[in-house]
Amino acid sequence: MAEFTLRLRRYDPESGEAAYWDEHTIDLEPHRSVLEGILQARARFDGSIGIRCSCRAAICGSCGVRINGQPALACHTHLDQAMKGARDGVIEIEPMGNMPVLKDLIVDMDAVHWKKVRRVTPWLINKEPIPEREYIVPHEAMVDVTQSMACIQCGACVSDCLSMEVDPLFIGPAALAKAYRFVGDPRDAQHSERLNDLAQDPHGIYDCTHCFKCIEACPKGVAPMSQIMRLRRISGRDHGIVDANNGERHEIAFTNLVRDHGLLWEAELLPRSYGGDSWLAKFGPAAGRELLSSLPVIGKALLRGKVTPMGALKAHKLPDEDLQQVKRIYATVEGRDEAERYELNLYISGYDEDMEGAEGPPPDAAAAGAQGGDGGMAGAESGQPGQSPERSPSR
Ligand code: SF4
Ligand code: SF4
Ligand code: FES
């Protein structure tokens, strides 16, 4: 047994009082969870502490909180582990971010998280005609979507999403990972419609700023940002969707500027994102309008020394030898046959141990598992993020 002090963020919107910190010291073995610590504090000192939980086994997704400033499942964080991140020897526990607090550590998931999940049509719209028995799905396709199927809807990624902080209407990491679950499913009939909807929405796939926060936050290795990047690639490259938000053009301009100059030429990025991937883009009406409306920001950047007039007019210079190396990387990647494009799925590697030694998976095994929709979690649970990667074909 050891003593741990918990500092809990308390808030009851109905009381009219401001939020405050509340400290309790509990006795538990160090390997017990932060959730058990909170429940002990509630049982021993204050029955009014609000915390939501159910499974206590990192499955139901109910106990999402922030521990020492980081989103986590309270039932999946050991007390000794939490102590390592405690600033002054006290474990600090707060409600998740980006969602209104209902009471103490309980946030309103319905107002934000579930609303956004409903936004992406979170069910399969099956192809017609419906086969007499079952849809046969390639094994690789199911491995690919298993990563997004592993989501337990805890909201940790939503809590830490920087884009959502700036734009609360952003569809967000969890809902977009859910969208990939259906865009990646060969049985779904509306890939193009789904992608077009998410690309054209100003709060959709191009609203993500690649901050990686959702990848760090997710306790299940879903890597929502990676799912968003897949949605973008499939939308732009495979379905040729050019979005009204200039997201696709922005990505093309970004990668081509780095290819041509070895480093990003920021001053060219804006006009090319709006006017197309050429030096002449700045004379296009869309780019001109955007440049004009950005003048106050550009002026401030110049005044604060973040941009210099010379830096804006001339591209950064990379030594020729280094530039050739950058170009070689591009040539290798761009020289690949599109049909042979591979993406790394870091979530699942190989087959279940039970199947090792068997003659290999039956070709229809994935199809049979797929029939249960999101129910095929056994495979997802056995795979751990960060294991050796499997190459899985993208669509
Ligand atoms: S990577 Fe994108 S979706 Fe993920 S937290 Fe950052 S902004 Fe949000
Ligand atoms: S993607 Fe991960 S962090 Fe986000 S809701 Fe699902 S399980 Fe939680
Ligand atoms: S109580 Fe179910 S995930 Fe923590």
Angstrom distance (rounded) from CA 133 to CA 130: 8
Same fold, 2-107 and 110-244+341-393: no
CATH topology of domain 110-244+341-393: Fumarate Reductase Iron-sulfur Protein; Chain B, domain 2 (1.10.1060)
Start-end of H helices in 120-275: 139-149, 156-160, 162-166, 173-183, 191-200, 213-217, 224-233, 247-261, 266-275
Angstrom distance (rounded) from CA 6 to CA 67: 10
Q: How remote is the CA of residue 272 from the centroid of ligand 3, in Å?
A: 47
Q: How remote is the CA of residue 158 from the centroid of ligand 1, in Å?
A: 8
Q: How remote is the CA of residue 225 from the centroid of ligand 1, in Å?
A: 6
Q: From 113, 151, 160, 163, give the residue whose CB has the most ligand 1 atoms within 8 Å, as the site to mutate.
A: 163
Q: Write down the pLDDT at residue 358.
A: 46
All structural domains of the chain with their residue ranges: 2-107, 110-244+341-393, 259-335
Q: Are 338 and 365 in contact (CB under 8 A)?
A: no
Q: Which atom of ligand 2 is nearest to the CA of 148?
A: 1
Q: What percent of the chain has pLDDT over 70?
A: 85
Of the listed ranges 60-64, 82-86, 247-251, 378-382, the one predicted with least confidence:
378-382
Q: Write down the pLDDT at residue 370.
A: 35
Output the six-digit token pair for 128.
């017609």
Q: Is 313 helix (H, G, I), strand (E, B) or coil?
A: helix
Q: Which atom of ligand 1 is nearest to the CA of 164?
A: 8
Residue, of 282 and 81, whose pLDDT is higher: 81
**351, pLDDT greater than 50:** yes
Output the six-digit token pair for 89.
């020897």
Q: From 96, 112, 213, give the residue whose CB has the most ligand 1 atoms within 8 Å, as the site to mutate.
A: 213
Q: Which ligand lies nearest the alpha carbon of 215?
A: 1
Is the beta carbon of 38 within 6 A of some atom in ligand 3? no
Q: Write down the pLDDT at residue 366.
A: 37
Q: Whose CA is nearest to atom 2 of ligand 1?
A: 208
2-107: CATH architecture: Roll (3.10)
Output the six-digit token pair for 250.
């922005």
Q: Within a 10 A sphere around the Cβ of 321, how many other Cβ atoms?
A: 7
Q: From 116, 120, 152, give the residue whose CB has the most ligand 2 atoms within 8 Å, as the site to mutate.
A: 152
Q: Write down the pLDDT at residue 379.
A: 33
What amino acid is encoded at 176 in this protein?
A: L
Output the six-digit token pair for 353.
């141990």
Q: How remote is the CA of residue 131 from the centroid of ligand 2, in Å?
A: 33
pLDDT tens by residue, 223-244? 999 999 999 999 998 999 999 9
Kind plus residue range of the DSSP H or E element containing 84: helix 79-84
Q: Write down the pLDDT at residue 344.
A: 55
Q: Is the dihedral of CA 169, 172, 174, 178 positive or negative?
A: positive
Angstrom distance (rounded) from CA 153 to CA 114: 9
Of the listed ranges 54-68, 75-89, 252-266, 337-351, the one predicted with least confidence:
337-351
**267, pLDDT greater than 60:** yes
Q: What percent of the chain has pLDDT over 90?
A: 63
Of the listed ranges 58-72, 173-187, 321-335, the one predicted with least confidence:
321-335
R_g of the chain computed on alpha carbons: 24
pLDDT tens by residue, 108-153? 999 999 999 999 999 999 998 888 998 888 888 888 898 999 999 9
**Quick one: pLDDT band at residue 345, thresholds 50, 70, 90?**
low
